[in-house]
Amino acid sequence: MKVVIAEKPSVARDIAEVLNITAKKKGYIEGRGCAVTWAFGHLVTLQEPGEYDPALKRWSLDSLPFVPDEFKLTLIKNNGVAEQFQVIKTLCEQAEEIVCATDAGREGELIFRYILALCHCEDKPIRRLWLNSLTPEAIQAAFKDLKDGHDYDALYAAARCRSESDWIVGLNATRYYTVRHGQIGGSDRVLWSIGRVQTPVLAMIVERDDTILQFRPQPFWELTTRYREVLFKYSGQRFERPEKAQALLDKIIGQPFGITGSVGKENKEQPPQLFDLTTLQREVNKQHGLSAAATLAATQNLYEAKLVTYPRTDSRYLSRDLKPRVPKIMEQLKAMRAEQIAPLNLAKLPFTARIIDDTKVTDHHAIIPTGVRPRNLGADEQLVYDAITTQFIAAFYPVCIKHVTTVDGVSQQVKFQAKGTRIVEPGWTILFPKKKVSQDAADEQVLPEFSKGETGPHEPSLREGKTKPPGHFTENSLLGAMEAAGKFVEDDTLREALKERGIGTPATRAAIIETLLRRDYIQREKKQLRCTDMGRTLIALIQDPLLKSPEMTGEWEEKLKKIERSQLDPDTFMAGISDYIRTLIEHSSARRLDPARWGSCPLCGKEIIKGKRAYGCSGWEEGCPFVLEPACKGVTLLPRQIQTLLQLRILPQPVRIENEPRILILSTQGLVMDLGLPSADRQKNVVKEDRPVKPPVRKNE
């Protein structure tokens, strides 16, 4: 008997239907010498420390770091999992061959191999069904081209390394910071959740928000003039002080303005590339405000409805063998998009290198429609389907041709310049009538014909403005930063090169954002993602820069991809992770409070001294203004709390909020957390950092 294991019941039903397997049993479908069964996504996970040793159920610094010699598996504790696993186990034990039909990617491979391992059936012959879409034609073609399952051993090795490294870093760092800092400033223990990927992402958001918090607007002045209804800008730099700008304004008021020349050039804007998952999520978030998680869920639903190809891809290209399929898809789409497809010659589609490139297709090609006609789509699914379909059609449209004109003018030897853009051929842009232009609005003005040497009156003016901080992250910009390992890159080519070092994968980035939201480390404010006080506090507490480094996380992800390609030994990678967590714990544990000193000044770094009423910087004679008053409306920080906050480089500032005593904790980079301290008589309950404690309970989980 052949056993086929799918990732979800719906996919199992699609496969069974294509294979004409119809006898429904409890937990599987049987017929023609084959049984098709399913998981519920992840069925098997790594054991918790307490399952290795009951003593590890208690959280203590003495037990850290904990790295198992050999990782063990267990079932996920969800309803129906044990029963379904028993069905799969029984079928696998009877099977002559097992076919892996889980999602064709790293996590799908992990789901299948973990199930196989817990069933103790790893020695059975295995085959791999690799699907790019769930249409009947794609399923039939994939079954005719089943691969040896062991061809994907490297993919499984990378998936296992990702799973085990996340377990090692997350578990040890979470326990360490929770035990050591879980009660800073209060009596209720806080769970400080640390992750190999989530913590660097949180650090990026905190750094951006702190930059905005610290930003001090600087005034500037811009000199402009209006001639023949066209806005001209002063050719030099804008002015940081008004005196020089005013002097030039006074010089040209009432004086004629003359045209000294103009230059025109033709610009070609290439059609957009096809979507990978990240660019799809970014575009839908930018245009419609849909979250990355909602976009992934909608795309997954479209995939399972056979309407689009596999969503969890990091490629924006198609492989050469898909060229014959594209015109057929276009023909099918004519029923819905006849007007948009009509200008295309389907017999001679322009398959440029921006569309077809085998070297840039790894596990899966770009997301494209399958041509199947949708019916009764939900609102999110309709938005995402329209975006994918429009992008697919636009990729084959002509370039957009623009004529950009630059006109130079002068008044009393003060030089000005104006730019204007005229669309010669709209090309692909007609498919995006609401698409916002990326250029400055002044550069988009329509210019009349100017003649060199012409003169006339003009209307000069001076505008005062202020510099602006960078914007808060949106899901669109955060996904872009994650893809480029924390670098903010707009250029498609450079961003493509940085993908190898991105934070997380296209399949996991949305889940990382949702995890940070669920744990109250960040929050949504309209389209913006902002860190919360809890998120700031966590990043302030983490002293190890690598634990919150996007670059380090990007290097780990790059190594995982090398493991996928059999270019790096998995054991070498895991040894590095184990060494890292041991060094982290040892280094952090060595940073004990020094009882002989209060700490360093967060402003200048000099020693803090204690006065009669407050703590202050020993460099006060040199002008350092730092003073810390420990008391606020009857609430007083204990000396040990003062030492903890100052020696950990966290700065407290007493304030009043609605007449209640509060302590605002600040990092050296900005506001961190409103702790809302309890009454003074409860402060004595601060737990010593070495005391073993029970694991805290996660809220909302």
Identify whether 521 is a catalytic site residue. Answer: no
SS3 state of residue 401: strand
Rounded Cα distance between 152 and 196, Å, is 25
Which contacts (CB < 8 Å, 24+ apart) does range 467-471 have? 467/217, 467/218, 467/220, 468/217, 469/211, 469/212, 469/215, 469/217, 470/208, 470/211, 470/212, 471/528
Rounded Cα distance between 112 and 156, Å, is 9
What is 448-463 written as a DSSP string?
----TT-EE--EEEEE
Cα–Cα–Cα angle for 416, 418, 422, rounded to 5 degrees: 170
Bridge pairing between strands 627-628 and 615-617: antiparallel
* Residue closest to 649 by CA, chosen among 203, 184, 201: 184
Q: Which residues contact 413 (CB under 8 A, 6 or more apart)?
A: none
Residue with the two structure tokens 């996904």:
479
SS3 state of residue 147: strand
SS3 state of residue 411: strand
Q: Which residues contact 442 (CB under 8 A, 6 or more apart)?
A: 231, 233, 418, 419
Q: Residue 181 in contact with residue 59, Cβ under 8 Å? A: no
Task: Tell me 3's DSSP state.
Answer: E
User: Which residue among the candidates 227, 310, 385, 521 is catalytic per the annotation?
Assistant: 310
Rounded Cα distance between 326 and 352, Å, is 13
Rounded Cα distance between 524 and 573, Å, is 36
* Residue closest to 112 by CA, chosen among 122, 314, 574, 19: 122
Neighbouring CB atoms inside 10 A of 79's CB total 7
Length of the chain: 701
* Residue closest to 102 by CA, chosen among 163, 19, 40, 164: 40
Q: Residue 198 in contact with residue 482, Cβ under 8 Å? A: no
Distance of CA 515 to CAs 193, 480, 519, 531, 587, Å? 10, 18, 6, 13, 28
3-state secondary structure 94-143: HCCEEEEECCCCHHHHHHHHHHHHHCCCCCCCEEECCCCCCCHHHHHHHH
Token pair listed for 156: 């499984």
Q: What are phi and psi of 6, to 5 degrees?
A: -100, 165
Neighbouring CB atoms inside 10 A of 526's CB total 7
Maximum alpha-carbon separation in the chain = 96
Q: What's the chain's Rg over C-alpha atoms?
A: 31
* Residue closest to 271 by CA, chosen among 307, 316, 210: 316
Task: List residues with catalytic annotation.
Answer: 310
